[in-house]
Structure 1
Amino acid sequence: MDLPKEKRWFPLESNPTLLNNYISSLGFSNERYGFADLYSTDEWALNMIQPPVLALVVHFPMSSKILERRHEMHKEVETEIAMEFAILHALFNTPKCIQSSEIEPTSWAEMFLNECPADTLPVDKASILENDNTIECFHDAAAKDPSNQTNRPEIDDKIGIHFATFACVNDKLCDLDGRLDGPICHGSTSIANFLKDACGVVQKWMDADKNEMRFTMLALAPSA
């Protein structure tokens, strides 16, 4: 009997226009909230983002120095699907009032939330997601979307880049990464201080390998 082929996902670009279109296709309204580029961890850049910031998606290089700084735990998820997990972490760790107002009824996002309540084990959520043909189609369409600013890579290309998401969950600064067994808690925070606190952690990653410049950040915040 032939073994099932490993499912492969094309990497998604760190591009707010692309990702706002993508979350809309999943059923998260981007009329009031959407992703915006955050250009630096410095105060001037933070002041350009309209509060409240609901999540921060970080696109970072997987150098040995940065992984060591993050206390890498080597989980099972492929790097190519990392953006998928980062986006879903951002959407599904927003406050319940945001989810109820911004997630459209009968959409893929609502169905996934119903299928994977909060007490579902991360490995089970990952399995459900990786075997979901609907989101695979949405993902592939986004990877081919004309709003991409770079050429679509080959499926076997090693990109050496990973995504993680920061969210404020129960007044804790949580670092959510599909390659890890669970969230990393970086201490207390608040919605008001969340972006500054998250950028403080990201700056430590940057300081760990000053030769690396391949960082980008996307804030999920009120649309302009």
Structure 2
Amino acid sequence: MSVNRWIPLENNPEVLNSWSSKAGLVTAQAVFEDVYGLDPELLGMVNQPVKAVLLLFPISDALEAKRREEDAKIKSEGQPLLDSTVVWIKQTIPNACGTIGLLHALLNSDLTFVPESPLAQFIDECKGKTPEERAKHLETTPLFANIHAEAASGGQTVVPTDLDTNLHFTCFVRAPSIRGPDAPGSYRIIELDGRREGPVDRGEYTDFLTDVAKIVKDTYLANSSSVQFSMVALGPGSEA
């Protein structure tokens, strides 16, 4: 059975916050805001503490080659410090990377959700499921399809008639190391991308947003000549 291709989602705080609110996040807890650049002065404008970062990037041959190389290394060597509680979802729905990225950001950020909301239901219905089973649940239930469609249609750009796109979302979250909270390197940056073979441990961090920016520079910008990059941060809401 073929899976419907969703409309691509904009990496726009207004769109992402609308999606999150409709899905069940109490937005007073946390909101998405633009990251206008990777220089220290621009990173300093972002409200702290940052809980997660969403990056929209253009897929290129160089980035695809790097992805395959990293996935092969992870498959052969493993990631011994990766915490098992990190929630990762395999992407099987075309153009659903925006919703997958939002789920990765919100479900790994110690947030609470409105009871019986789509986010609360997804957590409850996916307990103990594999990443592939979570993906199947997204395919076969309407929990997020309508929310995604509404958010994608409410952006600043016209909905494209050609739904093929080379732009893709990935997410960076903070996660504890299995070493424990008091050990050196006890908190790590984890990259979550539904197209990968699993979560990617990017190592320990000193300042989460600053170190994510360095990863984006070294891993993504260094392997692309495109300017079609955009980044948003999930940070304190009005009640923080």
Give the TM-score range, shorter chain. Answer: 0.7 to 0.9
More divergent stretch after superposition (30-39 vs 68-77)? 68-77
TM-score after normalising by structure 1: 0.87
In 1, are the aligned partners of 2:4 and 2:94 still within 8 Å (CA)?
A: no
2:215 counterpart of 1:201: yes
Distance (Å, rounded) in 1 between the aligned partners of 2:58 and 2:2: 28
Name the counterpart of 2:84: none
Note closer, same or farther for the CA distance 1:194–1:71 as it changes in structure 2 (3 Å cut).
farther
Q: Quote the offset at 1:157 in angstroms.
A: 2.7
Identity %: 32
Q: Quote the offset at 1:111 in angstroms.
A: 0.8
The AA in structure 2 aligned to 1:151 is V
In 1, are the aligned partners of 2:8 and 2:163 still within 8 Å (CA)?
A: no
Deviation sequence 1:8-54 (CA, Å, 0-9, x none): 21111111011101100000011231100101111111100111100
Query: What 5-or-longer segments of structure 2 have no aligned partner?
Result: 73-89, 177-186
In 1, are the aligned partners of 2:91 and 2:97 still within 8 Å (CA)?
A: no
Q: How many pairs are equivalent?
A: 209
Q: Quote the offset at 1:137 in angstroms.
A: 1.2
Name the counterpart of 2:105: 90
Query: What 5-or-longer segments of structure 1 have no aligned partner?
Result: none
2:122 counterpart of 1:112: yes
In 2, are the aligned partners of 1:39 and 1:217 still within 8 Å (CA)?
A: yes
Q: Quote the offset at 1:129 in angstroms.
A: 1.1
The AA in structure 1 aligned to 2:46 is I
TM-score after normalising by structure 2: 0.81
Report the RMSD for the aligned CA atoms in angstroms: 1.9
Distance (Å, rounded) in 2 between the aligned partners of 1:37 and 1:59: 12
Distance (Å, rounded) in 2 between the aligned partners of 1:220 and 1:136: 22
Secondary structure of 2:96's aligned partner: helix
- Aligned pairs for 1:47-196 within 5 A: 47-71=44-68, 77-95=92-110, 99-100=111-112, 103-117=113-127, 119-145=128-154, 148-154=155-161, 156-170=162-176, 171-189=187-205, 193-196=207-210
Deviation sequence 1:125-163 (CA, Å, 0-9, x none): 111112221311111111222xx1110012x43211000
